[in-house]
A and B are shown apart, each in its own frame.
Chain A
């Protein structure tokens, strides 16, 4: 007998869980949604190769600038600690600005 009571309670719980709550959809809901949509279309998704390609391009530019500096005989000048620190500082700031622009700018 107790088993039958448990079964009945289980079945009643099943029924209650399966029964969806009654809801009333406002008559102009679809119009309201459509009116709230942004006018400008959303940006297309960024291709997955864009970020690595831009990073590679940046690295190549830096390498060519370094190579040019060595070719012009400026290597000893760059090896001075204040100049090296200044150049590295500018590069770090530019990289951070670029990363911020890519990841934080509104899309």
Chain B
């Protein structure tokens, strides 16, 4: 148990920052991070050291966030207060407003959230976490070529989104 405590202490910052970018959320992070470590604990007997613990943790996080997004989508479809949720979503500052305030960082965060969750994961793992293509392929259980192609396309999409928003700002400004 002491070993596991040490493991949590060593990786908690990485888990929180990765989850923050993958979800674009800062509020529910603690619960998600707790679930990540719980899943790691359950999986440890099956962990034979073929991969690093960090790779294993990234895989758990990507799967957990995908599950969470699917769950939210399903709840949104089934929920009678769908409109209320939409209103809440729109009340958050959109990329346009953020760019107007010259907050490029937040605009990029907002644009990231509009990407496919898998593409967002690839961008996060590559740029923020500095993971090699091979490791990302192992984390996502995807071919190396697919990872490289998706990374390039996702980046291009981000650029297009930011460019469109910038030009909209100029027109409206």
Contact = CB atoms under 8 A, between A and B. Distances in A.
A17 B123 contact: yes
Contacts of B9: 30
Contacts of B30: 26, 29, 32
A72 interface: no
Contacts of A32: 30, 34
B139 to A, nearest CB: 17
Interface stretch (A40-48, A60-68, A73-81, A96-104): A40-48
Interface stretch (A6-14, A49-57, A83-91): A6-14
Given A23-B26, A42-B45, A34 B5 contact: yes
Contacts, number: 78
B51 to A, nearest CB: 16
A52 B9 CA distance: 41
Interface string B88-128: 00000000000000001100110000000000000100011
Nearest to A19: B105
Nearest to A12: B104
A35 B132 CA distance: 35
Given A23-B29, A37-B4, A42-B44, A17 B127 contact: yes
B7 to A, nearest CB: 10
Contact of B127 (A14, A29, A37, A38): A14
A71 interface: no
Contacts of B108: 13, 16-17
**B-side interface size class:** 35 or more
B62 interface: no
Interface residues of A, number: 26
- Describe B's contact surface by its main secondary structure: helix
Contacts of A30: 5, 8-9, 12
Contacts of B104: 12, 16
Interface in B36-74: 37-38, 41-42, 44-46
Given A23-B20, A38-B42, 16 more contacts: A14-B127, A16-B104, A17-B108, A17-B123, A17-B127, A18-B128, A20-B17, A21-B21, A21-B109, A23-B26, A29-B8, A33-B38, A36-B38, A37-B41, A38-B41, A43-B45
Closest CB pairs A-B (n = 7): A17-B127, A16-B108, A23-B16, A21-B20, A20-B17, A33-B37, A42-B45
Interface of B: 1, 4-5, 8-9, 12-13, 16-17, 20-21, 26, 29-30, 33-34, 37-38, 41-42, 44-46, 104-105, 108-109, 123, 127-128, 155, 158-159, 162-163
